[in-house]
Amino acid sequence: MNDIFELIDKLSSKHSLSLEEYEKLILAKNDETTEYLKRKAVETRKNIYGNSVFIRGLIEISNICKNDCYYCGIRGSNKSCDRYRLNIEEIIECCKEGYSLGFRTLVLQGGEDGYFRDEMLVDLIRKIKAECPDCAVTLSLGERSKESYQRLYDASADRYLLRHETATKEHYQKLHPDNLSFENRMECLKNLKDIGFQTGCGFMVGSPFQTVSDIARDLKFIEEFRPDMCGIGPFIPHKDTPFANHPAGSAELTCCLLSIIRLIKPNILLPATTALGTINADGRENGIKSGANVIMPNLSPQSVRNKYMLYDNKLSDGNESAQNLENLKIKMRSIGYEVVTDRGDIIK
Ligand code: SAH
């Protein structure tokens, strides 16, 4: 038992553990060690970001996707998915609304929709920057060529989120069809970082076939890759996917991993994700109380909100809705945090 406390101390001073130590930390956790881990993570986060919570307006620009990831509700072969794509004007409208609500980061996320070619996105990014000059633009549009990423960066996109999904090749292959490769995913992440994007990776907690040693490798990958952002949330099954009958991941383990990731990289931008808020009514508060410092409310047009269904019952209303920012602020204040109007760049 004592050695678990020692492991936590070691992690918070060295920001590194061996694979075996990460495994041990996860396997041997109990209420007391989790409490200690959480306390260290919050302390670390407060030393850098105080009690600020950064918000990102999430605009889901298209649910059309050429890929067929086994876990994802908007996978190409899901015939029951009601497809949509926002046009440039609609996206700009969302951005303007987000800006007036106080968002200074706009995130464009979508399936891998071939309609959004480089020229289209370059034009879109320039227009957003013209309308909302002091906003950061984050993209989360999947795998593209290095040349494409470079064009988007040159058009002044600031950040890119591309979850690695799992740092274990064999596990990656169990979550994706053969035409998607672990190597390409990792190559994309490296390219994004080399180009100069503030880069985010991440993974699902409790995805089908995930073992504790897979999670340890995810943590080691985060330690070595040194991302600026990291999105983790529980896997939640979607009824129209091959993984419909797999159990959801745990909110508790997700929070514990948020704390560990905070200690691995003290200045990381770490969201309490929608998936965490979906499986647990207090999920996002618990995420923030475990060391997360970012929340990404939904800014998509109301008419498409229930169509970007990555998993069953995905939240997009209530406190997930950008329009309910006031409630979110009150919620955060009640646990000692302050939602701020700020780009929320990483503090180096
Ligand atoms: N096409 C983009 C965006 C994907 S959606 C890309 O490839 O990056 C964003 C994230 O949602 C995915 O990276 C995945 O980790 C997560 N996700 C997808 N299906 C999910 C599910 N069933 N449960 C929980 N998270 C899921």
pLDDT tens string 137-166? 999 999 999 999 999 999 999 999 999 999
List pLDDT tens digits, range 189-219. 999 999 999 999 999 999 999 999 999 999 9
Q: In this structure, is residue 171 part of a structural domain?
A: yes
Q: Pick the atom of ligand 1 nearest to 204's CA.
A: 15
* Exposure b/e, 308-331, CB count within 10 A at least 16 = b: bbbbeebbbeebbbbebbeebbeb
Q: In this structure, is residue 301 part of a structural domain?
A: yes
Domain span including residue 43:
2-340
Q: Quick one: pLDDT at residue 120?
A: 98
**What is the overall mean pLDDT for the chain?**
97
Q: In this structure, is residue 347 part of a structural domain?
A: no
Q: In this structure, is residue 127 part of a structural domain?
A: yes
CATH code of the domain containing 43? 3.20.20.70
Q: Pick the atom of ligand 1 nearest to 162's CA.
A: 8
Strands 105-110 and 136-140, how do they pair? parallel
Query: Would you give the distance in Å from CA 253 to the centre of its chain?
Result: 16
* Exposure b/e, 36-48, CB count within 10 A at least 16 = b: bbbebbbebbeee
pLDDT tier for residue 318 given thresholds of 50, 70 and 90: confident
Q: Quick one: pLDDT at residue 153?
A: 98
Q: What percent of the chain has pLDDT over 90?
A: 98
- Tell me: pLDDT of 1 over 70: no
Instruction: State which of 112, 139, 204, 218 you would mutate to test the pocket of ligand 1, scoring each by most atoms of that ligand within 8 A of its C-beta.
Output: 204
Which residue from 155, 147, 150 is spatially nearest to 120, judged by alpha carbons?
155
Instruction: State which of 78, 81, 113, 163 you would mutate to test the pocket of ligand 1, scoring each by most atoms of that ligand within 8 A of its C-beta.
Output: 163
Rounded-to-integer distance, Cα 56 and Cα 296, Å: 5
- How confident is the model over 154-179, as a mean pLDDT? 98
- How confident is the model over 104-132, as a mean pLDDT? 98
50: left (phi over 0), alpha (psi -120 to 50) or beta: left
- Tell me: pLDDT of 2 over 80: no
- Tell me: pLDDT of 316 over 80: yes
Q: Is 173 helix (H, G, I), strand (E, B) or coil?
A: helix
Q: What percent of the chain has pLDDT over 70?
A: 100
For 334, list phi and psi in degrees, rounded to 5. Answer: -65, -20
Q: Pick the atom of ligand 1 nearest to 143's CA.
A: 7
List pLDDT tens digits, range 222-231. 999 999 999 9
- How confident is the model over 2-28, as a mean pLDDT? 96
Q: In this structure, is residue 348 part of a structural domain?
A: no
Question: Does the beta carbon of 109 sit less than 6 angstroms from any atom of ligand 1?
Answer: yes
Question: Does the beta carbon of 22 sit less than 6 angstroms from any atom of ligand 1?
Answer: no
Rounded-to-integer distance, Cα 291 and Cα 53, Å: 11
Extended beta strands in the chain, E state: 52-55, 57-62, 105-110, 136-140, 159-161, 198-205, 229-234, 294-295, 338-340
List pLDDT tens digits, range 235-258. 999 999 999 999 999 999 999 999
What is the number of structural domains in the chain? 1
